[in-house]
Amino acid sequence: MNIPLNEQAQAEPLQAMLAKRRTWRRITFACGVCLAALLAVGGWWWFVGRFHESTDDAYVQADWMAASARVQGYVEQVLVEDNQPVKAGQVLLRLQARDYQARLDQANARQRQADAAVDAAHAEAQVVEAEVRRQQPAIERARSQLDAARAERQRAQLDLARYQGLVRDQAATPQRLETTRAAALQAQAVVQGAQAALLEQQQLLQLAKAKVQRAQAQAAQASASLAEAQAQTQIATQDLEDTVVRAPFDGVVGQRKVRPGQYLVAGQPVLAVVPLEQAYVIANFKETQLEHLRVGQPVSLSVDSYSGFEVRGHLDSFAPGSGALFALLPPDNATGNFTKIVQRFPVRIRLDPPQAGEPAVRPGMSVVVTVDTHAQAQP
């Protein structure tokens, strides 16, 4: 059916107007969607995003330790394999212990010999101390004899003086005087003998005391020898115990370089023990990001090895200086050619305990760290 020309002319402006309205509606809708998206993004940034500090310069680390033997010797047994979990105190390897056992036996024999020497020295000291105690009564006895001799000498001298007067008065015979004089001389000799006996006993006492001092010195020397022997025994015991290398803490064995029959020197690293459960993250934040970072703030970590997996943690501590400060060759900005570079500061992040079924976070993995500073950033 053919449409009249006048009706066709009237329909064309109507269709153009409808098309124009649809175009404006689309434009308005698109503008509304864009505005809503901008408002949503702006609202998220204002209420959430501006309180987040993030860096991808972060890595998982752990304070692993290279196990080594404290003594030298040949390896007898290696009791662990690569990547094997171990517990603290678990035996990792054993060295041949026969030489150290022989040294311990020798040290024990020396200690027993020193014990016997100490006992003998103490016994000798007791003997000479008994001599000193026994010499005291002998001195008292000699002193009493000297006192008696002196009294007898005094009596004899008085008799001699009395008889001399009697002889002058012819009341006594000269023979009696001579007898009295001889008795006086004899009493004097007895006194001298008693003095000599007392001096001898006193000298014997001094000799006994000197023997006591010598015995005490010998006992002290024997005690010192015993202490030395005990120290040698302790060292030999420790050396024997050190032939067994144990795990210092819970972890996983890595870098196992030791084999049975290999000769080890003291301090030679033989394997590494990595404490996976004590892993932490070191994140290097720019100095411009440190303003609102505080210890204890919550942290979310995205691990590169596990897509879509996040780990939770908290800020633990801040390094005392930038990474450049502790570099092998720290920069010297006083050379004249200065270019300002934003420095990075290592921040330690403590990981929260893992949940059941979560994959293990291993040292060396790269992570993206995001810190929520909202609570501390609010006025």
Average pLDDT over residues 115-127: 83
User: Encoding tokens for residue 162?
Assistant: 């009395």
pLDDT at 8: 53
pTM, to two decimals: 0.64
Q: What is the per-residue pLDDT for 40?
A: 66
Tens digit of each residue's pLDDT (9 = 90 or more) over 208-261: 777 777 777 888 888 888 899 999 999 999 999 999 999 999 999 999 989 999
Taking residues 193-218, report their average pLDDT.
74
Q: What is the pLDDT of residues 267-321, one digit of tens each?
A: 999 999 999 888 999 999 999 888 888 898 899 999 988 888 889 999 999 999 8
Least confident of 19-28, 102-111, 176-185, 332-341: 176-185
Q: How many helices (H) and strands (E) does the chain have?
A: 4, 14
Q: What is the pLDDT of residues 90-110, one digit of tens each?
A: 999 999 999 999 999 999 999
% residues pLDDT > 70 (the chain) = 84
Rg of the Cα trace of the chain?
53
Q: What domains sit in the chain, N to C, each tagged with a CATH number?
A: 50-64+275-377 (2.40.30.170), 65-96+243-271 (2.40.50.100), 98-241 (1.10.287.620)
CA of 114: how far to CAs of 105, 231, 236, in Å?
14, 12, 16
Q: Is the dihedral of CA 52, 54, 59, 64 positive or negative?
A: negative
- Most confident range, picked from 41-50, 158-167, 322-331: 322-331
pLDDT of residue 377: 46
Residue recorded with tokens 């991808």: 56
Taking residues 13-33, report their average pLDDT: 74
Count Cα neighbours of 256 within 13 Å in the Cβ-side half-sphere: 15
